[in-house]
Structure 1
Amino acid sequence: MTVEYKKILVAFDASEQSKVAVEHAKLLAQLNNGHVTILQVLEPIIDYLAPDSYVISELTKSQKEIQTNLKRTLENNYIAEGNDNIDVMVLIDTPKDAIVKFARENNFDIIVMGATGKHGINKLLMGSTASYVVNHAPCTVMTVK
């Protein structure tokens, strides 16, 4: 039996482990003539923290600008000119849910992600997002340290 990973999703949060995950994904893509999608998910603004509709509107507008700028930054950092086997997505959602949903909707073969992320989770344990993705993903999940 041969396993090939053609569609590779990297769950990215700018942690050192997620940067290592990108490198692993690029290697997998090279070995399998595959395609890498780097996905970063921003937590949504919670409406009940700012009950004023003007404030919510301004915060949402700011978050959309952050989303656009982050996508541009990731593209500049990870996509070389002429390289069409890597693309970048930035979504606004709950990270663990968005990663699983995005992988399912786009039929990825594998998700590559850091074992722990930026949230200060004990390094001896798998992070809550990684744990959730491992248990709910529709495909293979590779966690890296």
Structure 2
Amino acid sequence: MVHKILCAVDGTKHSDKAVQFAAELANKLGSALTIATVNVMIGGARSGAIYSLEDSQVQNVLEAAARIAADSGVKNVHTTPLRSREAAAGVVTYAEQDDCDIIVTGTGDKHGLSRLVLGSVAADIAGKAHCTVIVAR
């Protein structure tokens, strides 16, 4: 049985699609939906932690995603800001700690060299997660 769904978002159109999919899934299965975004640490080795986003930006991303889920009829929606050195690691760690059954994430349209250079957070999540991962397009 699927009790908890985690949807990883970053405020892009791709993550909006993931939220819509996760919301539909949560509605069909009667599952709780948690929406998370990772504020990635980009500094801090010697000078203290520096994150890629301001706290207000993280909150805006989460609120926008929660509105999408609520508009889709999900009644049991939670949001959580995460902090990590790597986005995928933050999502996977949270999913394990919160005993999530499914992770839903979006993905961009990376091809060729940009895919090799930039990597893919969705692929990293799928490769490291303890549970089912759905990549929404």
TM-score by length of 1: 0.72
* DSSP-derived class of the 1:43 partner: strand
- Give unmatched runs, 5+ long, in structure 1: none
Change (3 A) 1:22 1:98: same
Quote the residue 2:78 is aligned against. 87
Deviations 1:51-91 (A, max 9, x none): 6x6xx58x67x8334434544454455446x9641111111
* DSSP-derived class of the 2:110 partner: coil
Quote the residue 2:102 is aligned against. 110
Change (3 A) 1:77 1:23: closer
Aligned-residue RMSD, C-alpha: 3.1
1:113–1:130 CA contact under 8 A, matched in 2 = yes
Quote the residue 1:121 is aligned against. 110
- Give unmatched runs, 5+ long, in structure 2: none
TM-score by length of 2: 0.76
For residues 68 and 142 of structure 1, the distance between their equivalents in structure 2, rounded to whole angstroms, comes to 24
2:127 counterpart (135, 141, 144): 135
Quote the residue 2:24 is aligned against. 27
Q: How far 1:110 moved relative to its partner?
A: 0.5
Greater CA radius of gyration, 1 or 2? 1
What is the total number of aligned residue pairs between the two structures? 131
* DSSP-derived class of the 1:130 partner: helix
* DSSP-derived class of the 1:38 partner: strand
1:5 counterpart (2, 7, 19): 2
Compare the two structures and name the one with the higher strand fraction: 2
